[in-house]
Amino acid sequence: MDDFGSRVRTLLTERGISLRATARALTYDPAYLSRVINGRQRPSEALVTALDGLLEADGALVALAAPAERPAAPGAGQGSGIDGDIAHMRASVAQLLEHDSRYGGTTVAPAAVQVWRAEQRKLERGEVPDRARRGYQSAVAELAEIAGWLLFDAGQWDASRTAFLESHVLARLSGERPMEWFALDMLAMQDVHHGRPGEALSIADELLTRPRIPPRVALMARVRRGRALAHLGDHRRALDELAGAKARLDESISPRDPAWAWWVNEGEITGHQGEVLLALGEAKAAVPRLQRALDLAREAYPDGRGTLFYSIALLSAYTAAHAWRECEPVLLSINALLETVTSARSRHRLSGTLRELTHGPGTPPWLSDLARQTATATAA
């Protein structure tokens, strides 16, 4: 589907049509269109036909989107040699991300590291011919970024940072600017998580000063700025950055978006708004934002990592607001999710919230008991 998405982006640019205008004309969700043209989701036949007509492609898009007729030979894989290695890396990225979305990063992080390190060693040993070196570096850079994200979700902070830094170096060597932007965004994310707002601000500002940076990359840089400013206690500017990001969300979709920007959507931005309000001590105001982010996460994967993450965030907001009755159903839903999702990052946050519920002043005894039972089950 890479050729299909690339052709759609080219036609949009040639005809001067924005992705937002395309979504309006065809009555499709802009985020869905973004995922399709960036190769993150297969389009429906109806969408392919509509795009072909709107962009006057004379059947070219229909042909590109059609599944291959020829069956694979028995035992055929992704080929051998350098091209086969690159195809394997690209396929591994998709599989790893799918597993992460459904079950969290903790169990799959070691597999991601294994694939990344194995392919990087080939670069270091000089086994990749010059003609393929840049493409290989780009593929390894993406693997390192995915490994870094999965390690982050697995709570392996130092290893995660190492992966992001190495992916940044490889992306620069390969001249792959979208990968470089992704690595910087991930480093800023980690700096926010670990209370290094100054470093996060520096990275965000660096991204925002780069020429011709795609709107979605700039939007995420502003989100990182907002999160960092909240850590610094700058209430007004933090909320302004997030409100600005939310307002620009639909208009920020562009054919120039890097493929990794598929996850920059309403749920992502709304969730960050809720987190900023929670960090600023406005728990009641955070609740509707986090509830909305949770609802959107459930639409994609009802029992997935995002659903667990935002359920815990919502529980944290209810706890901070002393909304005890609202805590109970969320906590019960979390208990069910913990049976399938293995995200150490989310479980660490949950442990802190459970301690507040168990030992905090004013918590009703029945809720303290439920929190204690959850904590025992989580530790088992």
Determine the pLDDT at residue 363. Answer: 94
- Range with lowest mean pLDDT among 5-14, 28-37, 116-125, 297-306: 28-37
Domain boundaries, the chain: 2-65, 81-175, 283-380
Tens of pLDDT, residue by residue over 70-125, are 334 333 444 458 888 888 888 888 889 889 998 999 999 999 999 999 999 999 99
Which superfamily is assigned to 2-65 in CATH?
lambda repressor-like DNA-binding domains (1.10.260.40)
Burial of 130 (0-12, 13-18, 19+ CB in 10 A): exposed
Q: Read off the pLDDT of residues 144-163 as tens digits, 9 standing for 90 and up.
A: 999 999 999 999 999 999 99
Cβ(217)–Cβ(225) below 8 Å: no
pLDDT given for residue 13 in this prediction: 82
2 pLDDT band (50/70/90 cuts)? low
Alpha-carbon gap, residue 146 to 104, rounded angstroms: 13
Residues 6+ apart with CB under 8 A from 232: 197
Residue with tokens 């700058």: 234
The predicted model gives 224-228 an average pLDDT of: 96
- Confidence class of residue 341 from pLDDT cuts 50, 70 and 90? very high
Q: Which two tokens stand for residue 84?
A: 């086969």
Of the two residues 301 and 44, the one the predictor is more confident about is 301
Q: What pLDDT digit, counting tens, does each position of 30-67 carry?
A: 767 777 887 767 787 778 888 888 888 888 888 888 75
pLDDT in tens, 170-204: 999 999 999 999 999 999 999 999 999 999 999 99
Mean pLDDT for all residues in the chain: 88
Q: Helices marked H in 55-156 — which ranges?
A: 60-65, 81-103, 109-124, 130-153
The per-residue DSSP string of 188-243 comes to HHHHHHTT-HHHHHHHHHHHHTSTT--HHHHHHHHHHHHHHHHHTT-HHHHHHHHH
d(CA 2, CA 22): 19
How far apart are the C-alpha atoms of 69 and 121, rounded to whole Å?
37
Question: 3-class SS at 69?
Answer: coil
CA dihedral defined by 278, 296, 41, 71, rounded to 10 degrees? Answer: 120
Q: What is the pLDDT of residue 145?
A: 95
Give the amino acid at 281. G
Q: What is the pLDDT of residue 380?
A: 60
The answer to whether 184 and 207 have CB atoms below 8 angstroms apart is yes
CB 57 within 8 A of CB 11: yes
Assess whether pLDDT exceeds 60 at residue 133: yes
Among 243-257, 293-307, 345-359, 363-377, the range scoring the smallest mean pLDDT is 243-257
pLDDT in the model for residue 40: 67
The pLDDT of residue 107 is 92
Q: What is the pLDDT of residue 105?
A: 93
pLDDT band at residue 137 under the 50/70/90 scheme: very high
Q: Are 295 and 306 in contact (CB under 8 A)?
A: no
CA 168/CA 236 separation, integer angstroms: 32
Q: Minimum mean pLDDT among 12-21, 128-137, 211-220, 238-247: which range?
A: 12-21
Give residue 43's pLDDT: 81
pLDDT for 1 equals 52
* Cα–Cα dist 53/4, whole Å: 14
| pLDDT (0 to 100) of residue 20 | 74
pLDDT of residue 272: 96
